[in-house]
Amino acid sequence: MSDTLTIGGRALASRLFLGTGKFASNDLMAKAIAASGAEVITVAIRRVNPEAGQGNILAPIPSRCQLLPNTSGARTAAEAVRIARLARSGGCGNWIKIEVVNDNRYLLPDNQETIEATRILAAEGFIVLPYMSPDLEAARRLAAAGAAAVMPLGAPIGSNRGLRTRELVRILIEEIALPIIVDAGLGRPSEACEAMEMGAAAVLVNTAIATANDPVAMAQAFGQAVMAGRTAFLAGPGAVGRLASASSPLTGFLHEGLAS
């Protein structure tokens, strides 16, 4: 059975989104993209240099992939809007990941500024995927502002600490009709699998893959984990109980019913 994620009118077979920062080389990044099976690739606009030829960060990204420029470096809604407009005018398409960060220590997103940037850009026809701290009311406001998906953090960006916000993310999955894409902090394939088992629509991973001893193998592992978690979610995990429950009947042993 086909199980596709549709965002902005585009059907996606892979539910692993991949970031492009921290790779040792563009060649290594290209191999990781291929191994992961990812179809959505995010890149910071400030790292794009069209005059760099093959050194351009965009050069290794396959044409089959959906480019998701992000507004990394923006500290206000106005700055994020300006970066998004520059990205579109520079040929990067109309998908945009909103990142508005004022906190220099933990790099936590500013939800209020993110909501404002989302409102402006969605009205201009952008497919907006906002990165946010998991908060139900903020997520509702992002949905009302026109977001195409909501991207709550799992842990501080680049920390590899895992799904530390799982209960808050679970609430968003249950209450928000938009796709919930867990972004930032996932450090192990098992953590991506857990997010998918909870019902997340997708996950975005960068640091955990790019900084692994073998980024290509790790990219493949994350791709497989995301598929496994999605399959488990669709299968419907069994109920969790407090007491033991035998998997086989406790009657009908060999000695029962035999003549003495």
Domains contained in the chain, CATH given: 5-235 (3.20.20.70)
* Residues 61 and 246 sit within 8 Å (Cβ to Cβ): no
Q: Check residue 150 and report its DSSP letter.
A: B
List, for residues 147-178, the tens digit of each pLDDT value: 999 999 999 999 999 999 999 999 999 999 99
Q: How far is CA 239 from CA 155, 236, 245, in A?
A: 27, 9, 11
Q: Answer whether 47's CB lies under 8 Å from 83's CB.
A: no
The secondary element (H helix, E strand) that includes residue 74 is: none
Interval 243-252 mean pLDDT: 73
| pLDDT recorded at residue 98 | 97
Distances (CA, A) of 248 to 178, 213, 237, 243, 245: 41, 44, 19, 15, 9
In this predicted model, what pLDDT tens digit does every residue of 35-50 receive, in sequence order? 999 999 999 886 665 5
The mean predicted confidence, pLDDT, of the chain is 91
Reference 197, options 161, 224, 236, 146; nearest CA is 236
Strand boundaries in the chain, DSSP class E: 5-7, 10-12, 16-19, 40-44, 66-70, 95-98, 127-132, 151-152, 181-183, 202-205
Say if residues 181 and 200 touch (Cβ distance below 8 Å): yes
Tell me: pLDDT of 234 over 90. Answer: yes
Q: Which residues are catalytic?
A: 97
Q: In what order do the strands lie in the sheet with 16-19?
A: 151-152, 127-132, 95-98, 66-70, 40-44, 16-19, 202-205, 181-183
pLDDT of residue 45: 83
For the segment 186-196, the average pLDDT, to the nearest whole number, is: 97
